[in-house]
Amino acid sequence: MSRLVYMNGKFVPEKEAKISIFDSALMFGDMVFEMTRSFNKKQFKLRQHLDRLYASIKHVHIPLKMTIDEMEAACYLTIEKNEPFFKENDEHRLMINVSRGPLSIYQEIFDGKLEPTVTIADFPLKWTVQGMGKLFDTGINAVIPSQRAIPADLLDPKVKNRSRLHYMMANIEVSRFPGESNWPLLLDPDNYITEGTGDNFFIVKDNVLYTPEPRNILVGISRGYVFEIANDLGIKYVECNLVESDVNDADEAFMTATPFCILPVTQINGKNIGNGKRGVIMNKLLTQWSKNVGVDIEKQIKDFNAELNNLNPNAVTPYQFKIEDE
């Protein structure tokens, strides 16, 4: 027995979960998605993720008949079926994908029955955060690559989609830098800071949070939760245009995303931000986040890493790619 994947109303073993080579996801990267995580096995803001998923589905005109309530029920059923295969300390990381399905020119292959492809995979979170535990101590070196973010007038960044070759190119470019703590930080065509290749970016100056305005970024669920925590802690935040010099002058910086929640950024292009260490404001946010969800987030990720290091001591983060010299 193995973990199961939801595929268009059926559950199939993980190793047998496949989509057609004629699917628009493969042909055009025509797929929207969401990734969620749990804390103590309880899903965190699943409905918000699904709200964003259905906004993406509407934006790209995928004719999905499945309602958001049905999708939510399918997510919980997927977790229920996979829970027996999870260790007690594992967390459920859901990956929810929706494509337009096979292209119409191939309808003869499918007997004329064309429909969107919906998959829900439940995977242990620990594999997604491998190699990240040490970053709570060392911090991330944010590297600005030559690859730019896709302008909003070409593709709305608020649509979370699988057309992510520009992210991959940025990851590969930054992987050529020495060290294992380098993550991309993309600029838009006007040289304003946007986001990472799967995370939102914040700086702190004089105890105020600053983060890129929503114009050219995916508005992250974790980003929004930082705003909630900041309100509770009385920390002011501002959405605005940021340039590299703003980061150079900042007191501290950090990134947010669903798998790791919040991680410090201690350098930009190899130059220290502030004192080059994790900042006070980030510590306050992380502590409150952990308290709110009943999980010591930093310890959990470090414990996951220690467990996986026994299996693969050379594991790197998902943002690092081994590049062979050409």
Tell me which fold the domain 4-128 belongs to: D-amino Acid Aminotransferase; Chain A, domain 1 (3.30.470)
Distance CA 226, CA 228 (A): 5
Give whole-number Cα distances, 280 to 192, 253, 269, 277, in Å.
26, 10, 22, 9
Neighbours of 305 (CB within 10 A): 19
- pLDDT tens, 226-255? 999 999 999 999 999 999 999 999 999 999
Phi, psi of 219 (to 5 degrees): -80, 100
Q: For residue 178, what pLDDT band results from cuts at 50, 70 and 90?
A: confident
Query: Has residue 325 got a pLDDT over 60?
Result: no
Query: Has residue 217 got a pLDDT over 60?
Result: yes
Domain regions of the chain by residue span: 4-128, 135-309
Q: For residue 317, what pLDDT band results from cuts at 50, 70 and 90?
A: low
- pLDDT tens, 151-174? 998 889 899 999 999 999 999 999
Give 325's strand partners: none
- pLDDT tens, 13-24? 999 999 999 999
Tell me which fold the domain 135-309 belongs to: D-amino Acid Aminotransferase; Chain A, domain 2 (3.20.10)
Neighbours of 79 (CB within 10 A): 20
pLDDT of the residue at 1: 73
pLDDT of the residue at 315: 59
Q: What is the mean pLDDT of residues 41-59?
A: 98
- pLDDT tens, 53-87? 999 999 999 999 999 999 999 999 999 999 999 99
- Do strands 271-272 and 182-184 pair parallel, antiparallel, or not at all (unpaired)? unpaired
DSSP assignments along 65-106, one per residue: -S-HHHHHHHHHHHHHHHGGGS-TT--EEEEEEEE--B-GGG
pLDDT of the residue at 319: 60
Produce one character per residue of 97-127: b if its CB has 16 or more CB atoms within 10 Å, e if not. bbbbbbbeeeeeeeeeebebbbbbbbbbbbe
Distance CA 202, CA 60 (A): 29
pLDDT of the residue at 17: 95
